[in-house]
Amino acid sequence: MKSSSLMFALLSVVVSVVILCVTQWIYKWRKPKCKGKLPPGSMGFPLLGETIQFFAPYKANNISPFITKKMERYGSIFKTHLVGHRLIISTDAGFNSFIFQQEGKLFQCCYPKSFSEIAGRESIVSAGGFLHKYLRNLVMNLVGNESMKQKLIPKVEKMVCEHLQSWCGQASIELREAVTKMAFSFGAKILLSYSESKSSKNLRKAYADFQRGLISFPLNIPGTAYWKCLQGRKKAVEIIKSILEERCATPRKRQEKDFLDLVIEEIKKNGSLMTEAMALDLLFVLVFAAFETTSITLTLAVKNVCEHPKVLEELIKEHEAILRNRKNIESGITWQEYKSMNFTHAVIHETVRLANIVPGIFRKVLKDVDIKGYTIPAGWIVMVCPPAVHMNPKQYDDPFTFNPWRWQVESDQGRRYHQNSSCYVSKWFPHSNIGEEYPKGCHNN
Residue 31 burial class via C-beta count within 10 angstroms: exposed 0-12, middle 13-18, buried 19 and up: exposed
**How many beta carbons lie within 10 A of that of residue 214, not counting itself?**
16
Residue 281 near residue 122 (C-beta atoms within 8 A): yes
**N-terminal to C-terminal alpha carbon distance within the chain:** 72
Above 90 in pLDDT, residue 256?
no
Same domain, 271 and 380: no
Residue 291 burial class via C-beta count within 10 angstroms: exposed 0-12, middle 13-18, buried 19 and up: buried
Distance CA 173, CA 175 (A): 6
Band (129; pLDDT cuts 50, 70, 90): low
Band (440; pLDDT cuts 50, 70, 90): very low
Band (432; pLDDT cuts 50, 70, 90): very low
Residue 287 near residue 191 (C-beta atoms within 8 A): yes
Higher pLDDT, 329 or 214: 329
Same domain, 148 and 254: yes
Same domain, 264 and 389: no
Higher pLDDT, 87 or 51: 87
123 in a domain, yes or no? Answer: no
The string of pLDDT tens digits covering residues 305-321 is 999 999 999 999 999 99
Band (240; pLDDT cuts 50, 70, 90): very high
The string of pLDDT tens digits covering residues 166-180 is 998 888 999 989 999
Above 50 in pLDDT, residue 270?
yes
Instruction: State the chain's mean pLDDT as an integer.
Output: 80
Band (212; pLDDT cuts 50, 70, 90): confident
346 in a domain, yes or no? Answer: no
Above 70 in pLDDT, residue 9?
no
- Least-confidence region, from 27-36, 42-51, 388-397, 432-441: 432-441
Q: Given 250, 277, 307, which residue is the final one in a domain?
A: 307
Above 50 in pLDDT, residue 362?
yes
- When pLDDT is averaged across residues 195-217 and rounded to a whole number, the result is 81
Band (416; pLDDT cuts 50, 70, 90): low
Band (439; pLDDT cuts 50, 70, 90): very low
15 in a domain, yes or no? Answer: no
Same domain, 166 and 273: yes
CATH of the domain at 164: 1.10.630.10
What is the percent of the chain with per-residue pLDDT over 70, rounded to a whole number?
79
95 in a domain, yes or no? Answer: yes
- When pLDDT is averaged across residues 210-220 and rounded to a whole number, the result is 76
Same domain, 150 and 299: yes
What confidence score (pLDDT) does residue 70 get? 92
320 in a domain, yes or no? Answer: no
Same domain, 163 and 262: yes
Q: Which domain holds residue 59?
A: 26-106+356-442
Same domain, 31 and 172: no
pTM: 0.78
- When pLDDT is averaged across residues 328-349 and rounded to a whole number, the result is 90
Same domain, 181 and 70: no
- Work out how many domains the chain is built from and give that number: 2
Q: Given 246, 276, 307, which residue is the final one in a domain?
A: 307
- When pLDDT is averaged across residues 441-445 and rounded to a whole number, the result is 33
Same domain, 275 and 181: yes
313 in a domain, yes or no? Answer: no
Enumerate the β-bridge partners of residue 375: 370
The string of pLDDT tens digits covering residues 26-78 is 555 566 777 888 899 888 777 677 888 887 766 656 788 889 999 999 999 99
